Chains A and B, each alone.
Chain A
Amino acid sequence: MSWHAKVYVVLKPSVMDPQGSTVQRALHQMGYSAIENLRIGKFIEVNFDQALQEQEVHKQLNEICDKLLANPNIETYQFQIERV
């Protein structure tokens, strides 16, 4: 058993996403004209030692997101934790 976390890091809505808009334009040109607001983020999976309390896992996830996984100036993040 261990903790399994899924972390999603995305650009803040007000921050431009050149990659997302380029991919969206390409899809439009391929005929998928109903597509809107395509934005690209990062998905990170990570396991934690089962000995940790859920609260502690939560705390450490917040820390690693703030310090490294996301840049708070342009990105936001969310995560899900489950026991596996």
Chain B
Amino acid sequence: MASDLAQGVARRPIALPGGLRPAVNVTISVAVVCAFTVLVGLFGQFSDRAMVVGVLDIGHSLMLAAALAGGAVLARRQRMASVLIVALISGAVAGGLVQALVVVARWANLRWMLVSLTPVTLNRVGFLLPDDQAALVLAASGACAALVGAGLVLCGPIPRRIVLGALGGVVCAGLLRELIRGILGGLGGVDDWGFTYDGLLPAGAAVSAAIGALVTIRPGAARYAQLPPRVKLGARLLCLLVLLALPALTNDFVAQVMMLVCLYTLMGLGLNIELGLAGLVDLGFVAFFAVGAYTVGLLTADATGAGGHLTFFAALPFSIAFAALAGFLFGLPVLKVRGDYLAIATLGLGEIIRVLVLSDMLKPELGGAQGIVNIPKPALFGFVLSSPTRLFYMTAIMAAAAGYIAWRLQHSGLGRRWLAVREDEDVAQALGINLVGVKLSAYTMGAGFAGLAGGIFAGMVGSVFPQSFQLLVSVNVLAILVVGGIGSLPGVIIGAAALIGAPEVLRDLGEYRYLIYGIVVIAVVRLKPDGLSPKAIRQREAL
């Protein structure tokens, strides 16, 4: 045994466990990834935004993450201590390569093709230092990151979780600075030492790292699990209350984001009835949202074709009713088709509504591309809901009511009939279920939820334009269901928070924030195909 081991060691040079090729591959990959971020402009976009003020910007964080991942890949191939040296060298070489590429790029002047490759950006890669010093700094930081990456793989699970948690904490705090600033600012004065307008200060970073590490190792988790259910419920309610109080305590930005999440939750609840329960794929869901919005617009604003000057809350029931009616009427001819064909047919409906409101024919009534403006803000007994915070609470109350209705429906006999139709139409019919009636009821009620969301949207924005009712809205709602878990009510909220909330909160990332959206969708579909919060029965059976 011992001699085998000795032979194995003797055959392989200690400096390069696993041979030369993995190390070279990883080195080149890391350098290429870093160069790529520079070439496509990712780096340029983020290099002036601080992750930790005066220490690290977001652009360089991306590069360090690449080196970290490279080190981890190396260590996973060869779980030996000597791999640390390989990772060190590999990271250093990759860092040097990046600076070498910068020199080449400056000389070759590729700006005619790659617009974002400005000299300033190139200089920023090397921290505005002379080339030789920049190469040294980049090599050193690359080596450190790769070393940490390899070390994380080799060390035990607990240190790994602590370090990853700390890093995650800093990254979250750095990226969500607007949100956190808002919260801290609302609580008063805490932001002076931890946050500035530019971003996280080193002290704030240390605190975030500590919080991140604490969250990952969860010191009190075992004791919490033993608490009586009533205490746990109380803790959850307390969390919910804090969450609900956030918009009032903080700024309008937080309120706006949470309002959007609530609005999409409302729509998600509607589509969940159609798709999650009754199994009807609907890509034209935005149509009912549009009907609801235009109903409120026409009934409340001084529009040309306006029907009356109702108050917002008087008009809202009409939004629901008209959207439900639209769902019913459209469902009649369309619901006889199944599966993929239904998806295509509903896709058509979404476009029909958008084209209709844009058309010259209805321009006198609906305002064409100019839409309907001057929709008064919702008011209740003279109390005008003007600020985003007040509007958030209105939306939240509506969403909660809708959630209650959706929950009752799901567990009613009608809900079971929807499920039966989703599972097997023919068998359901042979049990005496009227297919058209059951499908129409799902379609009508789902549309009603979307109509309510549309009505709220109109009152919230104060104007209605055809451009607001793109196919993207339907796709968004569908993605919310997929990410949250189709057919699961908590999943709708979680999905809305992940797909609508996260990109809004990450406004710092500019147009790249939809990258996050895409990554979330792909990651969920790949790693948790049942969604982030699958139905309870699935969870129970999976054990």
A and B found bound together: no
**A-contacting residues of B (Cβ < 8 Å)?**
none
